[in-house]
Copies of this chain bind each other. A is one copy, B any other.
Amino acid sequence: MTQATIRDVARHAAVSVASVSRALNGAASVSPATRDRVQASARALGYVPNAAARSLSLARSNTIGVVLPELHGEFFSEIVRGMDRAAGSLGLQLLLSNMHADVELAAHALRAMRGRVDGLLIMAPELAAATLIDALPGQQPAVLINCAAAGRSHPGFGIDNRAGAAAMVRHLLAQGRQRIVHLAGPGSNLDARERQEGFTAAMAELAPGAPVEVLAGDFHEETGMAAAQALLSRGPACDAIFAANDQMAIGAMRALQDAGVDVPGRIAVAGFDDVPVARYLALSTMRVPIAEMGARALARLARLIDGTDTTTDVELLVPELVVRGTTATGAISNKNPQEEPTS
Q: Return chain B residues, CB-CB under 8 Å to A63.
A: 95, 116
**Residues A93 and B95 in contact, CB atoms below 8 Å apart:** yes
The residue on B at minimum CB distance from A60 is B52
- Which of B76, B114, B221 contacts A50 (CB under 8 A)? B114
- Which of B54, B95, B220, B251 contacts A94 (CB under 8 A)? B95
Bound CA span A53–B84, Å = 26
**Residues B78 and A100 in contact, CB atoms below 8 Å apart:** no
CB of A169 closer than 8 Å to a CB of B? no
Say how many copies of this protein the assembly contains: 2
Q: Return chain B residues, CB-CB under 8 Å to A187.
A: none
Bound CA span A337–B74, Å = 21
Q: Return chain B residues, CB-CB under 8 Å to A53.
A: 52, 56, 115
Chain A: how many interface residues by the 8 Å CB criterion?
58
- Which of B66, B78, B98, B113 contacts A51 (CB under 8 A)? B113
CB-CB under 8 A for A52 and B48, given A93-B95, A277-B277: no
Bound CA span A277–B277, Å = 6
**Residues B80 and A96 in contact, CB atoms below 8 Å apart:** yes
Shortest CB-to-CB span from A56 to chain B, Å, is 4
Shortest CB-to-CB span from A250 to chain B, Å, is 8
Q: Return chain B residues, CB-CB under 8 Å to A221.
A: 342
CB-CB under 8 A for A56 and B50, given A95-B63, A222-B342: yes
- Which of B48, B52, B98, B280 contacts A277 (CB under 8 A)? B280
CB of A139 closer than 8 Å to a CB of B? yes
CB of A138 closer than 8 Å to a CB of B? yes
Contact string against B for A residues 249-264, beta-carbon threshold 8 Å, 1 for contact and 0 otherwise: 0110010011000000
Q: Return chain B residues, CB-CB under 8 Å to A114.
A: 3, 48-51
- Report 20 cross-chain contacts, Cβ distance below 8 Å, ordered by A residue: A2-B139, A49-B114, A50-B114, A51-B112, A52-B52, A52-B53, A63-B116, A66-B96, A71-B77, A73-B77, A76-B77, A77-B80, A88-B100, A93-B95, A93-B113, A95-B95, A116-B116, A221-B342, A276-B276, A277-B277
Report which A residues bind B (CB closer than 8 A). Answer: 2-3, 46, 48-56, 61-63, 66, 71, 73-74, 76-78, 80-81, 84, 88, 93-98, 100, 111-116, 137-139, 220-222, 247, 250-251, 254, 257-258, 276-277, 280-281, 335-336, 342
What are the 4 A-B residue pairs with the smallest beta carbon separation, nearest first? A50-B115, A52-B55, A77-B77, A51-B115
Given contacts A63-B95, A63-B116, 19 further A-B contacts (CB under 8 A): A48-B115, A50-B56, A52-B55, A52-B61, A52-B116, A55-B116, A56-B56, A73-B74, A73-B77, A76-B80, A88-B98, A93-B96, A250-B280, A251-B342, A257-B335, A258-B336, A276-B277, A277-B277, A280-B281
